[in-house]
Amino acid sequence: MTRITLTSLLTIGFWIVLSERLNLEVLVAGLLLISIMYMLYGKQKVAIGHEKIFFIKSLGNYGKYFWLLVKEIIAANLQVAKIVLGPRISISPTMITYETKLESAFHRTVFANSITLTPGTLTVSLVDNILTIHCLKGEYGEQIMDSKLEKILLEIEEYQR
Amino acid sequence: MKGILIIFLLSGGLFFFAVGTLGLLRLPDVLGRAHSAAKCDTLGAVMTLAAAMVYSGWNATTLKILLMILFIWITNPTATHLIGRVVYLKNAKSDNGVRKNEDL
Amino acid sequence: MNQVFIIALMILAFTIILCTVRAIIGPTAADRLVAVNVIGTKTIVLIVLVSLILKETYFVDVALVYALISFLASIIIAEFIEGETGGNK
């Protein structure tokens, strides 16, 4: 899928959801607005799908990633609740750096945001392929080193090459 | 059945919102507060909005709320990451002995 | 079902007040920004619940636009603080 088809499919889906119905007038007005938007912002690389995304082929892997992420988020929330609701707050914040092997910018961003949502870790800086991570305790940082999330993303990249 | 599901999702979401707020008040430093804000806010908002989706049934409103959930899911970690980066750069700067405008 | 939503609204409003305390006393600007970000997310949920209670579904559009704008506000204020403290641009 090229960049322009993916972007226009996303924007027209968004427009139909916003207008709550589907008839000719709505569709024509939406296409007009989308072409104006594309003329204004198309040259800047803000749109999704700047790189080749074989989205359909790796849909199963993305689904697996999403399911794992949901489980991690619930674990993270229960862990924060345990720390906050305890009588004394016992944390020892540390900073670690981690070098990721991911290549595409999209996957790096997804991975950095996922780290923020996993237990006890917060991505503080992302420069090229070096992530700086703030951990509530030292032991949570070690979980990042062999995270399953990065393995799934690496698998997707392997598949797309 | 629907009512039980709504009450379960709503109370779960409100519990996580309360935990996030308590963490915001109790944790000692800025990055710790950002931890509790990022995680609890994401799950709390998603659960509460899911309760709203179940209540409103199958119509366009549900789709709009789903869009909102996706948006919160993407933007909340990003905003927290930016705030964390500001604090990190500030600390790196003040370690070198350059300090200015400590309090805004 | 309306009573349940009204009780939820009251709890939500109470947590927003507690967040405002952090936004007022927070020693640095970043503390305040974290608190304001949390308040923004809670306000979105609040608007959606109010729209379900009043059965006025156009409030949901308001909440959607609020979500977009509060994200922009957080990013721009973060950039502003970074410029103030002399981070590398």
pLDDT in tens, B37-86: 888 888 999 999 999 999 888 888 898 899 899 889 888 888 888 888 88
Contact yes or no for B41 and C78 at CB 8 A: no
Find the helix packing angle between C29-54 and B2-26, rounded to 10°: 160
**Confidence at residue B102, expressed as pLDDT on a 0 to 100 scale:** 45
pLDDT in tens, A91-100: 778 888 888 8
Contact yes or no for B103 and C27 at CB 8 A: yes
Residue C62, min C-alpha distance to chain B (Å): 11
Q: Which amino acid is at A12?
A: I
Q: What count of other Cβ atoms lies within 10 Å of the Cβ of residue B80?
A: 30
The confidence band for B28, taking pLDDT boundaries of 50, 70 and 90, is: confident
Is A90 exposed, middle or buried (CB count within 10 Å of its CB: 0-12, 13-18, 19+)? exposed
Q: What count of other Cβ atoms lies within 10 Å of the Cβ of residue A152?
A: 19
- Stretch C26-47: mean pLDDT: 88
Contact yes or no for C38 and B37 at CB 8 A: yes
Question: Which residues of chain B make contact with A77, given a CB cutoff of 8 A?
Answer: 16, 19, 39-40, 43
Domain coverage including residue B23: 2-94
CB-nearest partner of A17 from B35, B67, B89: B67
Asked whether residue B33 is domain-assigned, the answer is yes
Contact partners of C by the rule of 3+ C-beta pairs under 8 A? B
Asked whether residue B18 is domain-assigned, the answer is yes
- Stretch A134-138: mean pLDDT: 79
Q: What ipTM was predicted for this assembly?
A: 0.84
**Nearest-CA neighbor of A49 among A103, A110, A112, A2?**
A2
- Stretch C21-39: mean pLDDT: 87
Q: Select the more confidently predicted residue: A36 or A52.
A: A36
Asked whether residue B99 is domain-assigned, the answer is no
CB-nearest partner of B18 from C15, C67, C85: C15
Asked whether residue B100 is domain-assigned, the answer is no
Which helix (DSSP H) or strand (DSSP E) does residue A134 occupy?
A: strand A130-135
Domain count, chain B: 1
Read off the tokens for B63.
């789709």
B35/A contact by beta carbon, under 8 A = yes
B78/A contact by beta carbon, under 8 A = yes
